[in-house]
A and B are shown apart, each in its own frame.
Chain A
C-alpha cells in the first residue's frame, strides 16, 4: 500500500492533538486565558460605557443642549450636557479629562485627542457633528461640523493597553507551547520510543507532525481568545472596537501564529539535544532570549511616550518581531505596511530556521547520553 509523506505526519499530529486536547492542564489554561480577556475587555467597557454618562460641554447657546441629548439617543448612550459660559473653561475641563467632548454650537466639536489617521472619531462626537450641522441650518445639506482634537493624534491608552495584553499573550503562548514541544521531544527521547517511531517514519515527519499537532491546539486557544475579545467587546459596546485596538488584536493573532511557527522547530531541536527532562529548561533558555528581550522592553515602550529608539528596529528583526512589531503598531510607531514587511521577513526566516532545526533534530534525536553540542548537531550527517 502506498501512502504519502503526509499520512504518517498526520498520524503523528493527531496523536499530539489527542494527547493534549484532552489534558486537564489544557482546558484550565484555555478557561483562564479566555476569562482574562473577558475581564480585560468587559470591565472597563462596563464601567465607562453604561454606568457613567458622557459629560459633554456646551458653549454658545442653549439649543446645543438638545442637540447633545439627541446625539446621545442616536448612539444609545447616556449623555449629560453641561453648559459653559466660556470656551476656555470648557477646554480646560476637556483637557483634564472631565468631559468627553465640547460642542461649540453650530461651529465645531472638540475632543481631547484627534483620531489617529485611518480611524474615525468617537461615535458621540460624530453624532453631535452630524446633528449640529442639521440643527443650525435646517435647510442645508447635512455636511457635518468639523471635529477637532485638542491634542495631536496618538494611539490612545486602550489601544496601548491592548497592545501590552497581546504582547503578554504572545510571550506566554510561544513559551508555553514551545516548552510543550521540548518536553514532548525529550519524553520521546528519554523513553526511547523514538527509536521505534523512526523505524517506520522519517525524523522530519515526526518533527513536523509534532509541531503541527501541538500548534493546532495552540491555534484553537488563540482563536478562542480572539473570539472572546470581539464578542465581549461588541456585547458591552466597548470603545476598543472603535479605535485601533481591534487592529492590534488581529495583528497580534497573526504574530502569535507566525511566532509559534518561528520558534517551534527551535524548541524541538533544543529538546533533541538533551536526554533528560531536567536538562530541557537549560537548553530552551537561549532559544527564548530574543523574545524575552522584546517582551521586557515592551512595558517601557507601552507606558512611556517613546521608549528606547531601537525598539522600532526590533519590530523588523524576525526573532523579536512577534512582540516588538505588535507593540510598535499598538503605540503607532509603525503602520500596517511596516507590520506586513516584518511579517514577510519573519516568514522567510521561519523557513530557514525550520531547515536548520530539522537538521539538528535529525542528527541529535537518536543520540543518547551527554548533551550534544550545537556544532556536533550541525556537523554530523
Chain B
C-alpha cells in the first residue's frame, strides 16, 4: 500500500499540493488523473523524493518512505531522459546498480529486459542512435531493471503510437500481475478505464475522487438507460414516478434516468412500457471521462455526446 497523507507543497504563490491524500492498494494498476496543473507530477516527484514537501507524509508498505525504500521504486518521469551517448546495456546496468543491484545481476537484468522488449540487437548501441520508439523502450527498461515493487510513471503513454501503447500496456499489466504496484498518470481516460482497477482524480492539489473504476462509474446514484421505440425525444420521461429524474436524452432517444433507490426501477419500467415498446432498459454506466469531468467541475459536454453502456 502506498499512502499519500496530507501533502502540501507551494511553489511561490501556487499551491501545487494542497492537502493531497489518497492510498494505492498493493498489486494494483492505479490511474492517477487530473487536469494539467492539478499537482499530479509534483505528487509523483514527491513519492520519488525528487521534490521536497512543505508538509505531509508518504508511506509504503506501512513505513515512511526514505531513500532506501525509494531504491525499490521505479520511475519514469514525464520528461523522458537517458544519457544520449551511453550504450543501452551500460546504461541499464548503471541504473540497476544505483538501485542496489550488483554489477552482474544488473547486467543480466538489463539483457533480459532488452530481450523482452525486443532490443536484443541494440545492446551496444548508443541511446541517441536508436529510433524514438526504441528510446522509449529503453526508458521503460531503465524504470524496470531493478524489478521495482512500486512503479511510478508520469504520462507514460503520451507520444506513443498505438502499437507502443499496446506494448506498454502489456508490460505494465505483466508487472502488476507479478506483484508490483503500478501508478501512472494519463489523460487518455479510455485507456485508464481499460487498464486500471483503481483511480484517483485530483484537482487544485487535492483529491476529488478515488475508488475502483466501477465504483466511480456508479457514482453513488443509480442510473438507468431506457429507450422507448418511436420516442426520439424521450417524451415518455416527462412524467417519471417520484424518486426518479431525467438526466439526459441521447440523440437516439435513450433517456438516462437517475434514481435515489434502486427499488424504484420497476416504476420507471412501468412508465416506459406505458409509453410504448421498450427497446432498451438497463443500468447506465458512466464513462470515466464523464466521472472525471464532473469531479474536476469542468462543464460536461452536451448530452448528445454522452456515452452509455448497458451493463
Q: Which residues of A pack against B, CB within 8 Å?
A: 1-3, 8, 11, 15, 19, 187-188, 191-202, 366, 368, 381
Contacts and interface: CB of A to CB of B under 8 A. Distances in A.
Contacts of A200: 67, 70-71, 95, 98-99
B94 A3 contact: no
Nearest to A367: B11
Given A191-B83, A194-B81, A381-B52, A199 B94 contact: no
Contacts of B81: 191-196
A192 B98 contact: no
19 contacts: A2-B68, A3-B100, A11-B97, A19-B85, A187-B83, A188-B83, A192-B79, A195-B81, A196-B76, A196-B143, A198-B48, A199-B50, A199-B73, A200-B71, A200-B95, A200-B98, A202-B67, A366-B50, A368-B79
Say what secondary structure dominates the interface of chain B: loop
Contact of B79 (A3, A188, A195, A381): A195
Interface centre among A8, A192, A195 (most CB of B within 10 A): A195
Contacts of A15: 94
B273 interface: no
B84 interface: yes
Nearest to A200: B98
A196 B68 contact: no
B30 interface: no
Contacts of A195: 45, 50, 75, 77, 79, 81
B170 interface: no
Contacts, number: 61
A199 B100 contact: no
B49 interface: yes
A192 B70 contact: no
Interface string B82-108: 111110000000110111100000000
A266 to B, nearest CB: 24
Contacts of A202: 67
A196 B71 contact: no
A212 B216 CA distance: 53
A201 B97 CA distance: 11
Contacts of A11: 94, 97-98
A372 to B, nearest CB: 13
A24 to B, nearest CB: 13
Interface residues of B, number: 30
A381 B98 CA distance: 25
Contacts of A201: 98
B79 A199 contact: no
B164 to A, nearest CB: 19
B83 A199 contact: no
A191 B91 CA distance: 14
B235 to A, nearest CB: 56
A112 to B, nearest CB: 57
B75 A196 contact: yes
Closest 7 CB pairs of A and B: A192-B81, A193-B81, A199-B48, A192-B79, A199-B75, A195-B77, A200-B98
B248 to A, nearest CB: 43
Contacts of B68: 2
B142 interface: yes
A200 B77 CA distance: 13
B115 interface: no
Contacts of B97: 11
A187 B83 CA distance: 8
Contacts of B98: 8, 11, 197, 200-201
A110 to B, nearest CB: 63
Nearest to B101: A1
A191 B50 contact: no
Contacts of A193: 81-83
A197 B67 CA distance: 12
Contacts of A8: 98
Interface string B61-76: 0000001101101011
Nearest to B94: A15
Given A191-B84, A193-B83, A198 B52 contact: no
A193 B67 CA distance: 18
Given A2-B68, A191-B84, A366-B51, A196 B77 contact: yes
Contacts of B94: 11, 15
A204 to B, nearest CB: 12
A65 B280 CA distance: 130
A187 B85 CA distance: 10
A186 to B, nearest CB: 12
Nearest to B52: A381
B139 to A, nearest CB: 9
A199 B142 contact: no
Contact of B77 (A1, A188, A192): A192
A202 B99 CA distance: 13
Contact of B100 (A1, A197, A381): A1
B80 interface: yes
Interface in B33-61: 45, 48-52
A3 B98 CA distance: 11
Contacts of A187: 83-84
A197 B86 CA distance: 14
Contacts of A19: 85-86
Contacts of B85: 19
Nearest to B81: A192
A366 B81 CA distance: 12
Contacts of B83: 187-188, 191, 193
B158 to A, nearest CB: 14
For A192, A202, A368, the residue with the greatest tally of chain B CB atoms inside 10 Å of its CB is A192
A187 B84 CA distance: 9
A196 B95 CA distance: 9
Contacts of A3: 100
Contacts of B80: 192
B152 to A, nearest CB: 8
B240 to A, nearest CB: 54
Nearest to B79: A192
A196 B68 CA distance: 15
Contacts of B67: 200, 202
